[in-house]
Chain A
Amino acid sequence: GAVVSQHPSRVICKSGTSVKIECRSLDFQATTMFWYRQFPKQSLMLMATSNEGSKATYEQGVEKDKFLINHASLTLSTLTVTSAHPEDSSFYICSAGGGFLSTDTQYFGPGTRLTVL
Protein backbone atom coordinates (compact mmCIF):
# COMPACT_ATOMS: atom_id res chain seq x y z
CA GLY A 1 0.00 0.00 0.00
CA ALA A 2 0.81 3.73 0.03
CA VAL A 3 1.87 4.04 -3.58
CA VAL A 4 2.51 7.42 -5.14
CA SER A 5 2.90 7.91 -8.87
CA GLN A 6 4.15 10.81 -10.94
CA HIS A 7 3.59 11.65 -14.55
CA PRO A 8 5.49 12.19 -16.70
CA SER A 9 8.67 10.52 -15.54
CA ARG A 10 10.73 12.58 -17.93
CA VAL A 11 10.00 15.71 -19.93
CA ILE A 12 12.04 17.88 -22.24
CA CYS A 13 10.70 21.27 -23.19
CA LYS A 14 11.75 24.49 -24.84
CA SER A 15 12.57 27.57 -22.84
CA GLY A 16 9.48 29.70 -22.24
CA THR A 17 6.96 26.89 -22.27
CA SER A 18 5.00 25.56 -19.31
CA VAL A 19 5.15 22.03 -18.00
CA LYS A 20 2.64 20.27 -15.77
CA ILE A 21 3.65 17.41 -13.49
CA GLU A 22 1.04 15.22 -11.84
CA CYS A 23 1.34 13.46 -8.51
CA ARG A 24 -1.20 10.82 -7.58
CA SER A 25 -1.74 8.74 -4.48
CA LEU A 26 -2.96 5.45 -5.90
CA ASP A 27 -4.29 3.54 -2.93
CA PHE A 28 -4.93 6.12 -0.27
CA GLN A 29 -6.30 9.60 0.14
CA ALA A 30 -3.64 12.17 0.82
CA THR A 31 -4.72 15.31 2.59
CA THR A 32 -1.23 16.70 2.25
CA MET A 33 1.21 16.53 -0.63
CA PHE A 34 4.71 17.91 -0.75
CA TRP A 35 6.82 18.98 -3.70
CA TYR A 36 10.59 18.70 -3.62
CA ARG A 37 13.38 19.55 -5.95
CA GLN A 38 16.56 17.51 -6.10
CA PHE A 39 19.71 18.67 -7.84
CA PRO A 40 22.29 16.11 -8.98
CA LYS A 41 24.20 14.57 -6.09
CA GLN A 42 22.32 16.78 -3.64
CA SER A 43 19.55 16.45 -1.13
CA LEU A 44 15.87 17.11 -1.53
CA MET A 45 14.76 20.67 -1.01
CA LEU A 46 11.15 21.23 -0.06
CA MET A 47 9.45 23.66 -2.44
CA ALA A 48 5.92 23.71 -1.12
CA THR A 49 3.27 21.95 0.92
CA SER A 50 -0.19 21.56 -0.51
CA ASN A 51 -3.31 20.67 1.39
CA GLU A 52 -6.39 19.51 -0.46
CA GLY A 53 -8.76 22.34 -1.15
CA SER A 54 -6.52 25.15 0.05
CA LYS A 55 -3.65 27.21 -1.24
CA ALA A 56 -0.18 25.77 -1.15
CA THR A 57 2.38 26.98 1.34
CA TYR A 58 5.64 27.82 -0.37
CA GLU A 59 9.08 27.71 1.17
CA GLN A 60 11.16 30.82 1.32
CA GLY A 61 12.79 31.60 -1.99
CA VAL A 62 10.34 29.59 -4.10
CA GLU A 63 8.40 31.70 -6.57
CA LYS A 64 4.73 30.86 -6.23
CA ASP A 65 3.89 32.43 -9.58
CA LYS A 66 6.47 30.28 -11.32
CA PHE A 67 5.70 27.01 -9.60
CA LEU A 68 1.92 26.72 -9.54
CA ILE A 69 0.56 24.01 -7.30
CA ASN A 70 -2.97 22.71 -7.34
CA HIS A 71 -4.32 20.06 -4.98
CA ALA A 72 -7.85 19.70 -6.23
CA SER A 73 -8.61 16.25 -4.88
CA LEU A 74 -7.42 13.87 -2.19
CA THR A 75 -5.52 11.82 -4.75
CA LEU A 76 -4.08 14.39 -7.12
CA SER A 77 -1.73 17.33 -6.89
CA THR A 78 -0.17 19.10 -9.85
CA LEU A 79 2.93 21.24 -10.17
CA THR A 80 3.10 23.54 -13.17
CA VAL A 81 6.42 25.11 -14.02
CA THR A 82 5.48 28.24 -15.91
CA SER A 83 7.72 29.88 -18.51
CA ALA A 84 10.42 27.32 -17.86
CA HIS A 85 14.07 28.26 -18.22
CA PRO A 86 17.18 26.07 -18.32
CA GLU A 87 17.87 26.78 -14.65
CA ASP A 88 14.57 25.08 -13.84
CA SER A 89 15.99 21.81 -15.11
CA SER A 90 15.95 19.45 -12.19
CA PHE A 91 14.44 16.36 -10.66
CA TYR A 92 11.04 17.10 -9.12
CA ILE A 93 9.69 14.71 -6.52
CA CYS A 94 6.35 14.67 -4.79
CA SER A 95 5.33 12.93 -1.62
CA ALA A 96 1.98 12.31 -0.01
CA GLY A 97 0.73 11.82 3.50
CA GLY A 98 -2.24 12.36 5.72
CA GLY A 99 -5.68 10.90 5.28
CA PHE A 100 -5.73 7.61 7.12
CA LEU A 101 -1.97 7.80 7.12
CA SER A 102 -0.30 10.12 9.54
CA THR A 103 1.11 13.22 7.92
CA ASP A 104 4.22 12.34 9.85
CA THR A 105 5.04 9.63 7.32
CA GLN A 106 5.38 10.57 3.70
CA TYR A 107 5.44 8.29 0.70
CA PHE A 108 7.42 9.42 -2.27
CA GLY A 109 6.75 9.33 -5.96
CA PRO A 110 9.38 8.20 -8.46
CA GLY A 111 10.19 11.73 -9.54
CA THR A 112 10.05 13.68 -12.81
CA ARG A 113 13.18 14.65 -14.67
CA LEU A 114 12.65 18.07 -16.29
CA THR A 115 15.09 19.29 -18.91
CA VAL A 116 14.58 22.78 -20.32
CA LEU A 117 16.43 23.48 -23.53
Chain B
Amino acid sequence: AQSVSQHNHHVILSEAASLELGCNYSYGGTVNLFWYVQYPGQHLQLLLKYFSGDPLVKGIKGFEAEFIKSKFSFNLRKPSVQWSDTAEYFCAVSQQGSGNTGKLIFGQGTTLQVKP
Protein backbone atom coordinates (compact mmCIF):
# COMPACT_ATOMS: atom_id res chain seq x y z
CA ALA B 1 0.00 0.00 0.00
CA GLN B 2 1.06 3.55 -0.61
CA SER B 3 2.38 5.50 2.33
CA VAL B 4 4.02 8.87 2.89
CA SER B 5 6.41 9.64 5.70
CA GLN B 6 7.47 13.07 6.85
CA HIS B 7 10.47 12.86 9.12
CA ASN B 8 10.15 16.12 10.98
CA HIS B 9 7.04 16.60 13.05
CA HIS B 10 7.90 19.97 14.51
CA VAL B 11 10.56 22.33 13.24
CA ILE B 12 11.52 25.61 14.86
CA LEU B 13 13.66 28.06 12.93
CA SER B 14 14.70 31.65 13.17
CA GLU B 15 13.92 34.05 10.35
CA ALA B 16 16.38 33.87 7.45
CA ALA B 17 17.36 30.30 8.29
CA SER B 18 17.23 27.71 5.54
CA LEU B 19 14.53 25.07 5.55
CA GLU B 20 14.44 21.49 4.40
CA LEU B 21 11.51 19.23 5.20
CA GLY B 22 11.87 15.56 4.43
CA CYS B 23 9.30 13.46 2.62
CA ASN B 24 9.61 9.84 1.58
CA TYR B 25 6.96 7.74 -0.07
CA SER B 26 6.41 4.06 -0.53
CA TYR B 27 4.97 2.97 -3.85
CA GLY B 28 6.27 0.83 -6.68
CA GLY B 29 4.66 2.66 -9.58
CA THR B 30 4.79 6.15 -11.02
CA VAL B 31 3.51 8.86 -8.76
CA ASN B 32 2.50 12.49 -8.66
CA LEU B 33 3.99 14.38 -5.74
CA PHE B 34 2.66 17.41 -3.91
CA TRP B 35 3.42 19.75 -1.08
CA TYR B 36 0.52 21.53 0.55
CA VAL B 37 0.62 24.23 3.22
CA GLN B 38 -2.01 25.00 5.83
CA TYR B 39 -1.62 28.39 7.47
CA PRO B 40 -3.23 28.83 10.89
CA GLY B 41 -6.99 28.96 10.49
CA GLN B 42 -6.85 28.58 6.73
CA HIS B 43 -7.45 25.81 4.22
CA LEU B 44 -4.85 23.73 2.44
CA GLN B 45 -3.09 25.46 -0.40
CA LEU B 46 -0.94 23.89 -3.06
CA LEU B 47 2.71 24.93 -2.77
CA LEU B 48 4.06 22.91 -5.64
CA LYS B 49 3.65 19.67 -7.52
CA TYR B 50 5.67 17.24 -9.58
CA PHE B 51 4.20 15.09 -12.33
CA SER B 52 7.14 14.55 -14.69
CA GLY B 53 10.13 16.31 -16.25
CA ASP B 54 12.64 18.40 -14.34
CA PRO B 55 12.92 16.83 -10.88
CA LEU B 56 13.58 20.23 -9.33
CA VAL B 57 10.25 21.93 -8.97
CA LYS B 58 9.71 25.54 -8.03
CA GLY B 59 6.56 26.58 -6.27
CA ILE B 60 5.01 29.65 -4.78
CA LYS B 61 6.53 31.86 -2.10
CA GLY B 62 10.10 30.82 -2.84
CA PHE B 63 9.64 27.13 -2.09
CA GLU B 64 11.13 24.38 -4.16
CA ALA B 65 11.28 20.60 -3.97
CA GLU B 66 13.48 17.97 -5.52
CA PHE B 67 12.25 14.57 -6.62
CA ILE B 68 14.91 11.91 -6.19
CA LYS B 69 13.45 8.75 -7.65
CA SER B 70 16.17 6.44 -6.34
CA LYS B 71 15.48 7.61 -2.81
CA PHE B 72 11.70 7.82 -3.15
CA SER B 73 12.03 11.31 -1.75
CA PHE B 74 10.49 14.71 -2.42
CA ASN B 75 12.03 17.10 0.07
CA LEU B 76 10.81 20.66 0.40
CA ARG B 77 13.31 23.52 0.64
CA LYS B 78 13.41 27.25 1.10
CA PRO B 79 16.69 29.16 1.35
CA SER B 80 15.47 31.79 3.80
CA VAL B 81 12.28 31.44 5.82
CA GLN B 82 10.07 34.24 7.04
CA TRP B 83 7.82 34.52 10.06
CA SER B 84 4.86 34.27 7.68
CA ASP B 85 5.96 30.76 6.70
CA THR B 86 4.76 29.50 10.07
CA ALA B 87 2.28 26.79 9.11
CA GLU B 88 1.61 23.09 8.77
CA TYR B 89 3.21 21.45 5.73
CA PHE B 90 1.91 18.27 4.15
CA CYS B 91 3.54 16.05 1.58
CA ALA B 92 1.15 14.00 -0.54
CA VAL B 93 1.28 11.38 -3.26
CA SER B 94 -1.15 10.15 -5.89
CA GLN B 95 -0.85 7.35 -8.38
CA GLN B 96 -0.27 8.00 -12.06
CA GLY B 97 -1.51 5.89 -14.89
CA SER B 98 -4.56 3.72 -15.40
CA GLY B 99 -5.11 3.32 -11.66
CA ASN B 100 -5.24 7.04 -11.12
CA THR B 101 -8.33 8.12 -9.28
CA GLY B 102 -6.80 11.34 -8.04
CA LYS B 103 -6.72 9.86 -4.54
CA LEU B 104 -4.15 11.60 -2.38
CA ILE B 105 -2.20 9.93 0.39
CA PHE B 106 -0.91 12.47 2.90
CA GLY B 107 2.07 12.42 5.19
CA GLN B 108 1.66 13.14 8.86
CA GLY B 109 2.46 16.80 8.43
CA THR B 110 5.24 19.01 9.75
CA THR B 111 4.59 22.01 11.93
CA LEU B 112 6.98 24.81 11.08
CA GLN B 113 7.40 27.59 13.59
CA VAL B 114 9.48 30.56 12.51
CA LYS B 115 10.65 32.86 15.25
CA PRO B 116 10.98 36.54 14.36
From B96, which residue of chain A is reached at the shortest CB distance?
A104
User: A108-B43, A108-B44 in contact; A44/B49 too (CB < 8 A)?
Assistant: no
CB distance from A63 to the nearest CB of B (A): 19
- Interface membership of B61, Cβ < 8 A: no
> Are A42 and B108 closer than 8 Å at their CB atoms?
yes
> Are B108 and A106 closer than 8 Å at their CB atoms?
no
Range of interface residues on A (Cβ < 8 Å): 20 to 34
Within 8 A of B (CB), among A66-91: none
**Stretch of B19-27, B68-76, B99-107 at the chain-chain interface:** B99-107
> Are B107 and A98 closer than 8 Å at their CB atoms?
no
- Interface membership of A103, Cβ < 8 A: yes
* Chain A neighbourhood of B100, CB < 8 A: 103-104
- Interface membership of B67, Cβ < 8 A: no
- Interface membership of B94, Cβ < 8 A: yes
Within 8 A of A (CB), among B17-45: 32, 34, 36, 42-45
* Chain A neighbourhood of B32, CB < 8 A: 104
From B4, which residue of chain A is reached at the shortest CB distance?
A43
> Are B104 and A106 closer than 8 Å at their CB atoms?
yes
- Interface membership of B83, Cβ < 8 A: no
> Are A109 and B43 closer than 8 Å at their CB atoms?
yes
> Are B104 and A103 closer than 8 Å at their CB atoms?
no
From A104, which residue of chain B is reached at the shortest CB distance?
B32
**Cβ-neighbour of A43 out of B43, B94, B96, B109 (below 8 A):** B109
> Are A46 and B43 closer than 8 Å at their CB atoms?
no
| B32, B36, B43, B102 — most chain A CB neighbours (10 Å) | B102
5 nearest CB pairs, A to B: A103-B102, A108-B44, A110-B43, A43-B106, A44-B106
| Other A-B pairs beyond A43-B108, A108-B43, 7, CB < 8 Å | A41-B111, A45-B106, A46-B105, A49-B103, A95-B44, A97-B102, A104-B94
